[in-house]
Amino acid sequence: MPAGSSQRVVALAPDVTEIVFALAAGDRLVAVAETADFPAAAACLPRVDPTSVEAILAHHPDLVLATTAGNDPRIVNRLSSLGIRTCTVDPTSLERIAEGFRLIAEVLAIPERGGELAESFSRRVRAARSRGRALAPKGGLYIVWWEPLIVAGPGTFHHDLLAAAGIVNLAPGGAGRYPRVNPEFLLDHRLEVVVAPNDEDSRIGCARVAAAPVGRRLGLGQVALLWLPADPASRPGPRLADALEELVEKRLAGELPVARPVNLAPVPHLSTSGAHPP
């Protein structure tokens, strides 16, 4: 282990936990967020409440890892003010996710591993983007939650995930990263593809929405519904490349490549209300 490297690490989110294990540094973790369950070894570690400074300090960390995709910055700032070394990644795009691998590896004093992980991830993303560019652009949404209807907007890794697969995100700009939108969005004639995490809650919510008047295009199969495994599609870690590759494969399975671009630029749309954190 490099001299001066952190040996008591607390990870406050599943994605940063996964990154530490992918860097072969899982043995330094002394506690992880309650929702961290990958890899299997993570599930055996002590749990910590990411919203409790006292609970985090109880594990005597010399480094705390966090993410802007779910952790409260006030908690991180408080820890830092108490002299605890902290590191926060900002996974707002596929490129920033790769940068996060390098950043965490740097604070763990194993930069070469971070470079290898980032390059492997980026190589897969580039290959998937290349295949996605061969597909006809389609208007779409990434639905994070069905009731109320919450979608991924610009400035999120889900937005980038759609773009890499040739899907033009119709979510409104300027309404927050994960805005709550009017269900009438589903009636937009430009909407051709909906991508959603495949878990029980999401499927139940989808079924209810599809049965309602505003969901009739979904219920009638007029909009392609592409399910991605919630884990890893909802976690901006190394396995997000798996989700991207699966999304591209699903599109390729039902469509033929085209040579000419289609103009699907987002335009001002129906009203939205509120915003939702990732």
Say whether 10 sits in a helix, a strand or coil. strand
CB 97 within 8 A of CB 157: yes
**pLDDT tens, residue by residue, 44-89:** 999 999 999 999 999 999 999 999 988 999 999 999 999 999 999 9
pLDDT at residue 272 is higher than 50: no
Mean pLDDT of the chain: 90
Give residue 271's pLDDT.
36
Give the residue among 163, 161, 179 at the shortest CA–CA distance from 171.
179
My answer on whether omega of the bond before 154 falls inside 30° of 0, hence cis, is: no
Q: Tell me the per-residue pLDDT of 4-20, one tens digit each, with 9 for 90 and over.
A: 567 899 999 999 999 99
Where does CATH 3.40.50.1980 sit in the chain?
Answer: 9-123, 135-276
pLDDT of residue 175: 75
Instruction: Enumerate the H helices of the chain as residue ranges.
Output: 14-22, 53-57, 73-81, 94-107, 111-133, 157-164, 200-211, 216-219, 230-233, 240-254
CA distances 103 to 20, 98, 194, 216, Å, are: 11, 9, 33, 45
Does 148 sit behind a cis peptide bond, omega within 30 degrees of 0 on the bond before it? yes
Q: Give the contacts of 248 (CB within 8 A, at least 6 positions apart).
A: 128, 131, 132, 135, 164, 165, 166
Distance CA 51, CA 66 (A): 11
**Domain made up of 135-276: CATH architecture:** 3-Layer(aba) Sandwich (3.40)
pLDDT of residue 264 exceeding 70, the answer is no
pLDDT one-digit tens code per residue, 133-157? 999 999 999 999 999 999 999 999 9
54 is written with which tokens?
């006292």
Q: What is the CATH number of domain 9-123?
A: 3.40.50.1980
Nearest alpha-carbon partner for 13 in 56, 61, 50, 54: 50
Q: Is the pLDDT of residue 199 over 90?
A: yes
Residue 198 has pLDDT above 70, yes or no: yes
Residue 276's pLDDT is: 40
Q: What is the pTM of this model?
A: 0.87
Rounded Cα gap, residues 123 and 107, in angstroms: 23
Does residue 275 or residue 17 have the better pLDDT? 17
Rounded to the nearest 5 percent, the helix, strand and coil shares of the chain are 45, 20, 35
CB 162 within 8 A of CB 155: no
